[in-house]
């Protein structure tokens, strides 16, 4: 599918290594954009998260960076053809070389998170999926430099990796203030969405089940994503 249609924008994705999926949908829907002014989208791919943020906050300025040139083609196309193009900037760049003098009060990422050495044979897909292209320790260190004191960093990752990277982040002074457990079906924990802040506070914990035992979308998932899906689920 070369185009994915949302309620208020479209995602052209013919060139991108990874297509629009549930991870991006739930992360973008959960991200709190209240009172945020400057957002950085790391490894933006098609730009779907940036566009979801722009839809939710009509004043925020978004900078999206993507290391893969082919994916960047789709990113820039999608920004140009959206109604929020004046608030969106896309760049083909390695996040780890980004100038840290510019600060952001919101940072988001759906990062490459597979820790396996069995890389995909297609280089752009391997780069998008496997953390060798963006090691998590370097990701967190760079985020720490770019995040404003009152800012929030949101990410999604496999549930089994959450505790490890939660502990690492805390050593850097990034404290988890929200942890959202994403269940594919009841009892099947798949992902964790984590929100980090430089200010230590009581952590909020939420569970979301995407589909019920009969493989139908749950009412909770429908309610969460109804502002984005172009059709009734």
Q: From residue 162, how far is each of 49, 134, 185, 209 by CA, in Å?
A: 21, 16, 19, 18
The alpha helices in 89-133, defined as continuous H runs, are 123-129
Residue ranges and CATH numbers for the domains of the chain are: 3-225 (3.40.50.150)
Q: Are 17 and 51 in contact (CB under 8 A)?
A: no
H or E element: which one contains 220?
Answer: helix 219-225
pLDDT in the model for residue 118: 46
Burial class (CB in 10 A: 0-12, 13-18, 19+), 96: middle
Radius of gyration of the chain (CA): 17
Beta strands in the chain (DSSP E): 3-5, 10-12, 38-42, 61-66, 88-92, 104-109, 147-158, 175-185, 188-197, 204-209
Q: Are 48 and 5 in contact (CB under 8 A)?
A: no
pLDDT in the model for residue 43: 95
pLDDT tens, N- to C-terminus, the chain (233 residues): 589 999 999 999 999 988 899 999 999 999 999 999 999 999 999 999 999 999 999 999 999 999 999 999 999 999 999 999 999 999 999 999 999 999 999 999 998 764 544 444 444 444 444 444 578 899 999 999 999 999 999 999 999 999 999 999 999 999 999 999 999 999 999 999 999 999 999 999 999 999 999 999 999 999 999 999 988 88
Residue in the structure block whose two tokens are 């960047």: 72
pLDDT in the model for residue 133: 59
Ramachandran area for residue 165 (φ above 0: left; ψ -120 to 50: alpha; else beta): alpha
CA distance linking residue 126 with residue 61, whole number of Å = 30
pLDDT in the model for residue 1: 57
């Amino acid at each position: 599918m070369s185009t994915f249609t949302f309620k208020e924008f479209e995602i052209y994705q013919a060139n991108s290594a990874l297509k629009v999926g549930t991870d991006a949908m739930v992360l973008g829907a959960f991200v709190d954009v209240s009172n945020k002014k400057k957002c950085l989208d790391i490894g933006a791919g098609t730009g779907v998260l940036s566009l979801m943020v722009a839809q939710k906050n009509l004043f925020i300025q978004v900078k999206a960076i993507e290391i893969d040139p082919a994916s960047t083609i789709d990113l820039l196309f999608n920004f140009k053809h959206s109604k929020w193009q004046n608030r969106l900037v896309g760049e083909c760049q390695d996040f780890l070389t980004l100038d840290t003098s510019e600060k952001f009060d919101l940072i988001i990422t759906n990062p490459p998170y597979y820790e396996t050495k069995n890389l995909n044979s297609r280089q752009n897909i391997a780069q998008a999926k496997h953390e060798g292209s963006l090691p998590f320790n370097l990701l967190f260190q760079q985020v720490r430099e770019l995040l404003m004191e009152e800012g929030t960093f949101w990410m999604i990752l496999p549930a089994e990796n959450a505790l490890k990277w939660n502990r690492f982040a805390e050593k850097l002074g990034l404290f988890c203030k929200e942890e959202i457990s994403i269940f594919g079906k009841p009892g099947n924990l798949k992902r964790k969405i984590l929100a980090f802040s430089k200010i230590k506070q009581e952590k909020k914990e939420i569970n979301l089940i995407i589909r019920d035992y009969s493989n139908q979308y749950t009412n909770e998932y429908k309610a969460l994503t109804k502002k984005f899906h172009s059709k009734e689920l």
